[in-house]
């Protein structure tokens, strides 16, 4: 028996869990090998330490409280106590919240439908469209699909240009509430898009869908597709192609940056070093309450970009990323001193965080990190150590989207920590991300094994995508209410 | 050799004196006043510590301990003495802690905490049960080591943690652990071995050998 075999069995050897032959083999090896004897002594020391773990004191009057509880259970809890218990369950609260939302939506829809017919002439005039009796006004007032079909049908049947955009205040919310209602239009498939976004594929798809919905057997021609594309253009706004190109350029530049990072990471693997393409100092400053800012305010680098409600911004080297107005407004109130205001002013229905781990090599480590992150116990243990960590959510499976849902009208905090990113050894530098209302930070490690930063506060729905490619960690945040940031960290191993 | 190690460790480790659970059960069944209160007093520390080590929260441990004794109060009539009372009690305790753990995980999905929230009241720093005459730096070092041990146990998978806690912290025999957990002795030994190994790996940089 060699050292490796012995060490693998040493713990079972101590508990006597091996068969007689193996026990003898391990025993003989330990007698002749000083390193394995050391291993055995370390295990013995561990067992001693386990035995030495002190007892935590029991809370006072346990006997009395047990007695009272037995009495309560014997007589049965009062009706109101039972009712209160039921009302306090998360399931009830979730159901109540859902009912409330449904009620508000129903009221809004009914109210909206009642009010719209008065606006119709103005809308028709603004759009310059003769509907020709193809659709009734009431039909056109139906949200989403009715409007889509009407628009598509008009363009197909009459050959006239469809309404430029059915502007609805409610769509501002769909588009992320980062824009004024008049900046938000309906893309045609129920999705709201900002004026700055032009997605030809989306429009093409809509026209095809509309054609299918109307029973057309043939596929729309390219001219019709062009007409469909025109649906989404406002008069005077002819920059869609340019913006599209910019989007493609942004994506290309991000890919290019990632490729550079990969190459560099392979070239110079220096343990303990940590670099970031996004500006970590800026991100750190962004998380500082004094500045009340965000990563958007100062993130720089060729690969930095922001996606807000479908609009894409990018910044070249040394440039700051633009900040949507709404985002700024929330960022202003997200400082430590204003947290109370934000807490009172923002109702969080739920928070969704999606973590995607896409690299098979580091999947196991990422999985372990996510599992640790989502483990309440780990969070609490870390909290006890003063590491300022917390953990929420469900167990995660790497390679699949991980969704954490948090429902509350209070603050939330998210910290995603990858303490061991990539192909790692012990005590590798880490990359971490944090999200908050108007504050988003990408962290650099304080020390190799230290946990990462986090931000606080916020509301709305957030999508977070963490992509780990080799030794780099690209984090994309999409916050549909407050703003979005992108950071790209690089971790050397 | 392994038995010697076990015996040696058992001698060095603080194995608490076991109260006579069967006697409490008998007196309770006979309707003796105060028998149940005595039982709670005798075993509350063990149950609370078991719950705390498994649930890592004083609040949850407190509630679980109460539930354990309420359950025992209702079911002690069914205790027939086929196993040791303490083993039966630990089995009840483990079941309640497992349920509590599941509830806690579900609850965590809806729970929200802020950075500004004060941390949940953690345990008092785990200290060695045997007082030692050591210099202040050595005491600090030991306190840190015990904290690490505490964290290491908390990080163990539940099934390993159960086995290690019952064996090494509560001082139960392998047979009793197997009955309480509800698996074979071989499985218990394997879980204890793997649990200890995991703790050792975590402590390795701090072990003096």
Q: How far apart are the CA of A333 and the nearest CA of chain B, in angstroms? A: 16
User: Average pLDDT of each block of 10 consecutive residues along chain B (209 residues)?
Assistant: 44 51 82 84 91 88 92 84 87 91 66 41 44 63 83 89 92 90 90 92 80
Is the pLDDT higher at A252 or at A290? Answer: A252
Q: How far apart are the CA of B80 and the nearest CA of chain A, in angstroms? A: 22
The reply to whether B109 touches chain A by the CB within 8 Å rule is yes
Q: What pLDDT does A293 receive?
A: 25
Percent of chain A topping pLDDT 90: 0
Are A231 and A200 spatial neighbours (Cβ–Cβ below 8 Å)? no
Taking CB atoms and an 8 Å limit, are B192 and A27 in contact across chains? no
* Integer Cα distance of B50 and B93 in angstroms: 8
Residues on chain A touching B156 (C-beta within 8 angstroms)? none
Residue B104's φ and ψ, nearest 5 degrees, are -65, -40
Taking CB atoms and an 8 Å limit, are B169 and A50 in contact across chains? yes
Q: What pLDDT does A248 receive?
A: 64
Q: What pLDDT does B83 receive?
A: 82
Q: Which residue among A62, A90, A94 places its CB closest to the CB of B44?
A: A62
Q: Is residue A217 pLDDT above 80, yes or no?
A: no
Taking CB atoms and an 8 Å limit, are B56 and A381 in contact across chains? yes
Q: What is the pLDDT of residues A404-449, one digit of tens each?
A: 333 322 222 233 332 222 222 222 222 333 333 222 222 222 333 3
* Integer Cα distance of B150 and B167 in angstroms: 15
Q: Is residue A368 pLDDT above 70, yes or no?
A: no
Host H or E run for residue A103: helix A90-127
Q: What pLDDT does B188 receive?
A: 92
* Integer Cα distance of A424 and B11 in angstroms: 41
Of B126, B158, B47, B61, the closest CA to residue B93 belongs to B47
Q: How far apart are the CA of A391 and the nearest CA of chain B, in angstroms? A: 8
Is the pLDDT higher at A192 or at B129? Answer: B129
Q: How far apart are the CA of A299 and the nearest CA of chain B, in angstroms? A: 24
Average pLDDT of chain A?
Answer: 45
Q: Is B152 helix (H, G, I), strand (E, B) or coil?
A: helix
Tell me the whole-structure pTM to 2 decimals: 0.42
Taking CB atoms and an 8 Å limit, are B44 and A63 in contact across chains? yes
* Integer Cα distance of A346 and A457 in angstroms: 10
Half-sphere exposure of B156 (CA within 13 A, CB side): 28
Residues on chain A touching B191 (C-beta within 8 angstroms)? none
Taking CB atoms and an 8 Å limit, are A56 and B123 in contact across chains? yes
Angle at B194 between CA B192 and CA B195, to 5 degrees: 60
Residues 6+ apart with CB under 8 A from A94: A407, B110
Beta strands in A303-359 (DSSP E): 305-308, 311-314, 351-355
Residues on chain B touching A11 (C-beta within 8 angstroms)? 193-194, 196-197, 200
Of A312, A283, A311, the closest CA to residue A296 belongs to A283
Is the pLDDT higher at A299 or at A92? Answer: A92
Most confident among A77-86, A136-145, A323-332, B85-94 (mean pLDDT): B85-94
Q: Which residue among A16, A53, A392 places its CB closest to the CB of B108?
A: A392
Half-sphere exposure of B198 (CA within 13 A, CB side): 20
Are A312 and A321 spatial neighbours (Cβ–Cβ below 8 Å)? no
Residue A491's φ and ψ, nearest 5 degrees, are -120, 125
Q: What pLDDT does B49 receive?
A: 92
Q: Which residue among B57, B62, B199 places its CB closest to the CB of A59?
A: B62
Are B98 and B73 spatial neighbours (Cβ–Cβ below 8 Å)? no
- Per-residue b or e along A6-36, where b marks 16 or more CB atoms closer than 10 Å to that residue's CB: bbebbbbbbbbbbeeebbebbeebbeebeeb
Q: Is residue A246 pLDDT above 50, yes or no?
A: yes
Q: What is the pLDDT of residues A255-272, one digit of tens each?
A: 554 444 443 433 333 222
Is the pLDDT higher at A167 or at A12? Answer: A12
Q: Is residue A353 pLDDT above 70, yes or no?
A: no
Q: Is residue A303 pLDDT above 60, yes or no?
A: no
Q: Is residue A366 pLDDT above 60, yes or no?
A: no
Q: What pLDDT does A157 receive?
A: 31
Taking CB atoms and an 8 Å limit, are B113 and A413 in contact across chains? yes
* Integer Cα distance of A238 and A241 in angstroms: 8
């Amino acid at each position: 028996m060699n050292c490796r075999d012995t060490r693998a069995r040493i713990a079972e050897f101590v508990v006597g869990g091996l068969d007689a032959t193996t026990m003898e083999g391990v025993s003989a090896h330990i007698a002749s090998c000083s390193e394995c004897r050391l291993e055995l002594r370390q295990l013995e020391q561990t067992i001693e330490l386990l035995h030495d773990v002190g007892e935590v004191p029991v809370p006072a009057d346990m006997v009395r409280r047990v007695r009272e509880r037995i009495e309560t259970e014997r007589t049965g809890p009062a009706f109101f106590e039972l009712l209160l218990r039921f009302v306090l369950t998360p399931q009830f609260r979730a159901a109540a919240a859902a009912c409330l939302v449904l009620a508000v939506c129903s009221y809004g829809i009914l109210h909206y439908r009642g009010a719209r017919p008065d606006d119709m002439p103005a809308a028709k005039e603004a759009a310059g469209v003769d509907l020709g009796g193809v659709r009734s006004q009431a039909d056109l007032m139906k949200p989403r699909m009715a409007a889509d079909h009407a628009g598509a049908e008009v363009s197909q049947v009459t050959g006239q240009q469809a309404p430029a955009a059915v502007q609805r205040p409610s769509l501002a919310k769909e588009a992320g509430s980062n824009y004024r209602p008049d900046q938000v239009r309906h893309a045609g498939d129920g999705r709201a898009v900002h004026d700055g976004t032009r997605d030809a594929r989306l429009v093409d798809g809509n026209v095809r869908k509309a054609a299918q919905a109307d029973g057309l057997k043939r596929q729309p021609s390219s001219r019709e597709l062009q007409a469909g594309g025109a649906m989404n253009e406002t008069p005077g706004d002819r920059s869609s192609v340019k913006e599209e190109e910019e989007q493609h350029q942004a994506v290309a530049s991000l890919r290019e940056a990632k490729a550079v990072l990969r190459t560099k990471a392979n070239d110079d693997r220096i343990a303990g070093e940590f670099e970031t393409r996004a500006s970590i100092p800026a991100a750190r400053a962004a998380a500082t309450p004094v500045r009340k800012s965000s990563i958007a305010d100062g993130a720089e680098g060729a690969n930095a970009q922001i996606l807000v409600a479908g609009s894409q911004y990018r910044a070249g080297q040394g440039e700051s990323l633009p900040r949507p107005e709404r985002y700024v407004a929330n960022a202003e109130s997200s400082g430590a001193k204003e947290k109370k205001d934000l807490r009172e002013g923002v109702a969080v229905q739920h928070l969704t965080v999606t973590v995607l781990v896409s690299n098979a090599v580091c999947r196991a480590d990422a999985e372990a990190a996510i599992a640790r992150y989502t483990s309440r116990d780990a969070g609490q243990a870390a909290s006890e150590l003063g590491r300022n960590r917390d953990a929420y959510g469900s167990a995660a499976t790497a390679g699949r989207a991980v969704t954490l849902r948090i429902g509350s009208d209070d603050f939330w905090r998210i910290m995603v920590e990858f303490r061991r990113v990539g192909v790692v050894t012990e005590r590798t530098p880490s990359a971490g991300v944090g999200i908050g209302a108007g504050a988003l930070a990408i962290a650099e490690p304080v020390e190799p094994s230290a946990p990462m930063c986090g931000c606080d506060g916020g509301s709305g729905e957030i999508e977070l995508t963490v992509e780990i490619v080799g030794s780099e960690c690209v984090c994309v945040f999409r916050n549909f209410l407050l703003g979005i940031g992108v950071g790209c960290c690089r971790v050397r191993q | 050799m392994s038995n010697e190690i076990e015996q040696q460790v058992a001698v060095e480790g603080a194995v608490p004196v076991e109260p006579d659970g069967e006697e409490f059960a008998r007196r309770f069944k006979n309707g003796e006043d105060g028998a149940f209160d005595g039982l709670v007093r005798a075993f509350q520390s063990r149950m609370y510590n078991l719950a705390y080590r498994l649930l890592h929260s004083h609040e949850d441990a407190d509630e679980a301990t109460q539930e354990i004794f309420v359950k025992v109060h209702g079911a002690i009539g069914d205790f027939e003495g086929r196993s040791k009372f303490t083993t039966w009690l630990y089995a009840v305790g483990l079941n309640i802690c497992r349920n509590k753990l599941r509830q806690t995980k579900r609850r965590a999905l809806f729970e929200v905490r802020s950075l500004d929230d004060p941390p949940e009241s953690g345990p008092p720093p785990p200290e060695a049960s045997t007082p030692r005459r050591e210099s202040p730096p050595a005491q600090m070092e030991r306190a840190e080591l015990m904290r690490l041990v505490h964290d290491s146990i908390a990080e163990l998978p539940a099934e390993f943690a159960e086995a290690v806690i019952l064996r090494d912290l509560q001082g139960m025999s392998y047979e009793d652990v197997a009955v309480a957990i509800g698996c074979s002795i071989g499985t218990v030994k394997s879980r204890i071995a793997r649990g200890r190994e995991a703790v050792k790996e975590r402590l390795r940089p701090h072990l003096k050998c």
